Amino acid sequence: MPRPLSHFRIVDLSCVLAGPFATQLLADLGAEVEKLEPPGGDPTRGWGPPFEEDDPEMSAYFRSVNRGKRSRSVDLHTEEGRALLFSLIKDADVLVENFRADSADRLGLGWKRLHAKFPKLILASVRGFASDVSASRRAGYDFIIQAESGWMAVTGEPDGRPMKVGMALVDVIAGLYCANGVQAALLHRERTGEALHVEVPLMEAALAGLVNVAAGALMTGETPKRWGNAHPHIVPYQSFPCSDGEVAIGVGSDRQFEVLAMWLGLDLEARPEWKVNRGRVRDREEVVALIEARTQASTVEEVLAMCEANAIPASRVRNVDEVLFRKGGELHNLLQPLYDEASGKMVPTVCSPLLLNGERACAPLPPPRREP
């Protein structure tokens, strides 16, 4: 497999998800990653169940974002610990950390001090809030940022409570931005010789992740609403109940709706305003009610067969285990087992979705055990 970052060394001080996810992405691309954990270990080692059998410090949570790394324990509150860190970053290309800015400064890991001592070192900092805003000293977990950024306010049923997304998606987005920023900084250093400080605030990653929702609010000044599984700007684009389950239908063009209208027995000459998405959005409730009446009288397979025959994007609403196992060979090829010498077993992992020359990017090392 191509390993384009194999000549770079990364020291990873980050814990939990965003920073470790970023360094796992870089490890998948070939970078050598040394994970330095606090004396008690990365907190996510204890976030469970589930845990690996016979190892209560190998949670599924930790396993999900620490593939491809070697690990050791270091106490940065001691002289010995800081000396170990500085001996490692002396020869490293990148240091990744997720301390609050003031905590990093107290540990001697602020950008100005590090850059003066290690001028070629790239520093990547994942924060809850940016260092140049008044909230910079606040800690930021994904759940808190989902509440603070407006994500929860636009997630959930229209008449229900605000809800978080089902996984730590703010952390994932921040990790992607961090990995992207690190690679840009490496390219910049190779071209100019200058090292950069890459900073990724979770709050701002979440705001960037609002994409069209934020753009709509900026355009109109109106407060975005919750739409459940529906789309605020496209109709129909949501899930519908069938006699034996739920089906998601995404009509992305007016031509697709013309075909759907034929299936519904709907005469669009009598409702010409529905030939365009703008009219369907305006009459959302009436359009959705017509579709629901037909899907409720149909099975999921009947609806999917109609959609497939007419190139209308659709899917059964599936459970995670069904996607990972029963439908794996049809829908994806992301599961890759890694051999773990410590246990003598194969560790199942969800590898990177990146394909390089047709091969999936996946670091060969399983998530590291904690030092005794």
Going by pLDDT thresholds of 50, 70 and 90, the confidence category of residue 220 is: very high
Place 139 in a pLDDT band, splitting at 50, 70 and 90: confident
> Which tokens is 346 given?
């194969």
- Would the pLDDT of 98 be above 70? yes
In which band, very low, low, confident or very high, does the pLDDT at 372 lie, cut at 50, 70 and 90?
Answer: low
The least confident of 173-182, 325-334, 351-360 is 325-334
Nearest Cα to Cα of residue 310 among 233, 242, 255, 359:
255
* Domain ranges (residues) in the chain: 9-210+334-360, 237-317
Report, at the CATH architecture level, how domain 9-210+334-360 is classified. 3-Layer(aba) Sandwich (3.40)
168 vs 302: CA distance, rounded Å: 35
CATH number of 237-317: 3.30.1540.10
pLDDT digits (tens, 9 = 90+) for 248-306: 999 999 999 999 999 999 999 999 999 999 999 999 999 999 999 999 999 999 999 99
Degrees to nearest 5, angle at CA 148 with 110 and 47? 70
- Interatomic CA distance for residues 148 and 145, integer angstroms: 5
- Residues with Cβ within 8 Å of residue 41, at least 6 apart in sequence: 57, 73, 370
Q: What average pLDDT does range 319-346 have in this prediction? A: 88
- Condensed to tens digits (0 to 9), the pLDDT of residues 235-249 reads 999 999 999 999 999
Arithmetic mean of pLDDT, 318-335: 87
Q: How confident is the model at residue 342 (pLDDT cuts 50, 70, 90)?
A: confident
At 1, is the pLDDT very low, low, confident or very high (cuts 50, 70, 90)? confident
Residues 96-119: what's their mean pLDDT? 94
Q: Is the pLDDT of residue 371 over 80?
A: no
Average pLDDT over residues 194-207: 98
Model's pTM, two decimal places?
0.94
Same fold, 9-210+334-360 and 237-317: no
More confident residue, 16 or 55: 16
User: Band of the pLDDT at 362, cuts 50, 70, 90?
Assistant: very high
- pLDDT-derived band at 327 (thresholds 50, 70, 90) equals confident
Q: What is the mean pLDDT of residues 331-346?
A: 90
- Return the active site residues: 171
**Dihedral (C-alpha) 279, 311, 295, 232: value to the nearest 10 degrees?**
-40
Q: Which amino acid is at 251?
A: V
How far, in Å, CA of 164 to CA of 244, rounded? 27
The more confident residue out of 13 and 327 is: 13
- Write the pLDDT tens digit of every residue in 54-83: 789 999 999 999 999 999 999 999 999 999
203 and 131 Cβ atoms separated by less than 8 Å: no
Length, in residues, of the chain:
372
Percentage of the chain beyond pLDDT 70 is 99
Q: What is the mean pLDDT of residues 313-324?
A: 94
| Model confidence band, residue 23 (pLDDT cutoffs 50, 70, 90) | very high
